[in-house]
Amino acid sequence: MSDVRIIPVPCAREFAEGDDLGAFLSEAVAAAGGLQAGDVVVVTQKAVSKCEGRLRRLDDVRPSELALRHATTAGADARVIELALQEACRVVRMSGGVLITQTHHGFVCANSGVDQSNVPPGYALLLPADPDRSAAELRAAFHQHTGIAPVVIVSDSFGRAWRIGQTDVAIGIAGAAPLIDYRGHTDRFGRELRATMLAVADELAGAAELVTRKTDGAPAAIVRGYALPDGPGGIASLLRPPSEDLFL
Amino acid sequence: MSDVRIIPVPCAREFAEGDDLGAFLSEAVAAAGGLQAGDVVVVTQKAVSKCEGRLRRLDDVRPSELALRHATTAGADARVIELALQEACRVVRMSGGVLITQTHHGFVCANSGVDQSNVPPGYALLLPADPDRSAAELRAAFHQHTGIAPVVIVSDSFGRAWRIGQTDVAIGIAGAAPLIDYRGHTDRFGRELRATMLAVADELAGAAELVTRKTDGAPAAIVRGYALPDGPGGIASLLRPPSEDLFL
């Protein structure tokens, strides 16, 4: 039984479209002491989205009637709501100033993850188009630049139903499975564990937030000492299919 | 910017009613290298509940008609469902084999947190009656035995709506506030952060799970290098009041 360490990876750069995030983070990781075999690197969605050109200029967005009406209730910018609706494949709740959608990736979250914090004025930032692909590309870049291919998790801050406050969760993963499935294992009394699946990628993303959020300068963190389950990667196994949605 | 360390606190004892958990954990913490000022100690609910006598013998439970019917659909033990209903103040969903309730503490979770894993055969374990009080008592015990009063979080594994798999969250806290409130702060572009509250106690609980769950022998973990916000403690500020429940 050994410690797990969460190591911040500071990088002061304000990322922009076309930046080679893998190269910048490989440099930042080296400055933070370098990667080791078995490391997990958690990269914040904001850095990924900015490099992938997911900033949208609000003056280019023409809000629909639906967006305008909701924005009035919510006291929000109708153009941001319009972007959120465009990123959605399903509206889960749209009332009382709150817009909760399912995004085309399958995430259920507020405003389809469209965000204006730490974004230049007059712009909003969308989630990466395919965060699993982003994670896989970053993993390949780390391998190329450092010789080590860590597990890569892309993280974002999501709310949790019935609770106040957000926590960081995984929205993309490469190099390991995001979930530990204890079904069929037995407990210390020999009883079969019935339904224990642990979303460890979400716990890793949340742990990384403890060091990335408290300063603006850390777009990533290394988690050292924790072995995720082998697997093909991909976030899909963490997402409950709409057919099983209890909260329609 | 510095590392955060998650240090397992192994303790092989099978806890039972009346055990002085604070004394046992103080000893275990000393064996794990001792506490330092500013440490957070995350203690799993299971250890707390067992010491507080929250085991219930299933043969003593007479299931109601409601519990019997749901248990048949769910393929569950009707006596466990009965205990879950007794621990609930509100049924959120009771269909398709799933029982999601709000407990008398205010938590929304499956089966009111009543659990049979790692519990002796023929028994089920309830959540602590007052996890904030449990956390405060453990904090006082650590202070008495070690001279240091860490922040104490009591954790349990909860599901997350729309996602597969559980993550550990905080169900009780003493010595600090569970939430960082960034409202009114500005981002790097000088824009006011509108609604960013971070449930850092949940992230700490999840981080601790990375070292407590993978072996049976660690009922607690020390998180070192993370300063929670000052505050009176208490989990209530993490719980969304039923009047704001969007998913009734």
CA–CA separation, A136 and A120 (whole Å) = 27
Length of chain A: 248
Q: Which residue has the higher pLDDT, A245 or A212?
A: A212
Q: Using one digit for the tens of pLDDT, what is the confidence trace for B25-41?
A: 999 999 999 999 999 99
Tokens representing A24?
């910048």
Which residue, B187, B163, B168, B183, is CA-closest to A109?
A: B163
Distances (CA, A) of A149 to A143, A156, A200, B93, B200: 4, 22, 19, 43, 29
Q: Using one digit for the tens of pLDDT, what is the confidence trace for A155-193?
A: 999 999 999 999 999 999 999 999 998 887 888 888 877
Half-sphere exposure of B174 (CA within 13 A, CB side): 20
Q: Which residue has the higher pLDDT, B97 or B103?
A: B103
Chain A nearest-CA distance from B106, in A, is 9
Q: Which of A116, A206, A238 sits opposite B202 (nearest CB)?
A: A206
Instruction: Give residue A126's Cα distance to chain centre.
Output: 12
- What's the pLDDT at A93? 94
- CB neighbours of A191 closer than 8 A, spacing ≥ 6? B116, B117, B119, B121
- What's the pLDDT at A215? 57
CA–CA separation, A23 and A244 (whole Å) = 40
- State yes or no: pLDDT of B146 exceeds 80: yes
Which range among A44-58, A207-221, B44-58 shows the weakest confidence by mean pLDDT?
Answer: A207-221
- Asked if the domains at A5-54+128-241 and A56-124 fall in one CATH topology, the answer is no
- What's the pLDDT at A195? 61
pLDDT bucket at B242, cuts 50 / 70 / 90: confident
Task: Judge: A1–B14 Cβ closer than 8 Å, yes or no.
Answer: no
Which of B116, B210, B238 best probes binding to A when mutated, by most A CB atoms within 10 angstroms?
Answer: B210
Reported ipTM: the value is 0.95
Which residue, B212, B46, B213, is CA-closest to B124?
A: B46
Q: Decide yes or no: CATH 3.40.50.720 for domain A5-54+128-241.
A: no
Nearest chain A residue to B169, by CA:
A203
Tokens representing B138?
């453990």
Chain A residues with CB-CB distance to B164 below 8 A: 179, 197, 199, 237-240
Q: Give yes or no for a contact between A70 and A81, defined as CB atoms under 8 angstroms apart.
A: yes
Chain A residues with CB-CB distance to B100 below 8 A: 246
Residue with tokens 């996890």, as numbered in its chain: B131
Task: Judge: A203–B237 Cβ closer than 8 Å, yes or no.
Answer: no
Which range among A127-141, B27-41, B139-153, B225-239 shows the weakest confidence by mean pLDDT?
Answer: B225-239
Beta strands in A77-131 (DSSP E): 88-95, 98-103, 108-110, 123-125
Ranges of each domain in chain A: 5-54+128-241, 56-124
CA–CA separation, A142 and A155 (whole Å) = 17
Taking the CA atoms of A216, A32, A5 and A52 in sequence, report the sign of the dihedral they define: positive
CA–CA separation, A212 and A8 (whole Å) = 6
Torsion of the alpha carbons at A83, A88, A91 and A94, rounded to the nearest 10: -20
Chain B residues with CB-CB distance to A204 below 8 A: 210
Q: Which of A121, A165, A202 sits opposite B199 (nearest CB)?
A: A165
- What's the pLDDT at B243? 85
Q: Which of A116, A163, A238 sits opposite B165 (nearest CB)?
A: A238
Residue B201 phi/psi, 5-degree rounding, is -60, -35
Beta strands in chain B (DSSP E): 4-9, 40-44, 55-57, 88-95, 98-103, 108-110, 123-125, 151-159, 166-174, 180-181, 197-198, 220-224
Task: Judge: B14–A166 Cβ closer than 8 Å, yes or no.
Answer: no
Mean pLDDT, rounded, for B30-59: 97
Residue with tokens 């000492």, as numbered in its chain: A225
Superfamily of segment(s) B56-124? CofE-like domain (3.90.1660.10)
DSSP letter at A161 equals: T
Q: Give yes or no for a contact between A212 and B228, defined as CB atoms under 8 angstroms apart.
A: no
Distances (CA, A) of B84 to B58, B88, B102: 12, 6, 10
CA–CA separation, A202 and A216 (whole Å) = 21
CA–CA separation, A151 and A162 (whole Å) = 31
Q: Which of B5, B121, B200 sits opposite A3 (nearest CB)?
A: B5
Question: Which letter, b or e, does each residue of A74-86 get, where b requires 16 or more Cβ atoms within 10 Å of its Cβ?
Answer: bebbbbbbbbbbe
What angle is formed at CA A18 by the lines to CA A14 and CA A20, rounded to 5 degrees? Answer: 75
Which residue, A228, A208, A227, is CA-closest to A218?
A: A208
Nearest chain B residue to A110, by CA:
B195
CA–CA separation, A160 and A178 (whole Å) = 18
Q: Which of B8, B160, B187 sits opposite A1 (nearest CB)?
A: B8
| CATH code assigned to B5-54+128-235 | 3.30.1330.100
CB atoms within 10 A of CB A213: 19
Q: Which residue has the higher pLDDT, A246 or A65?
A: A65
Which range among A127-136, B169-178, B231-240 shows the weakest confidence by mean pLDDT?
Answer: B231-240
Tokens representing B185?
């702060």
Beta strands in chain A (DSSP E): 4-9, 40-44, 55-57, 88-95, 98-103, 108-110, 123-125, 151-159, 166-174, 180-181, 197-198, 220-224
Give the amino acid at B136. A
- What's the pLDDT at B220? 98
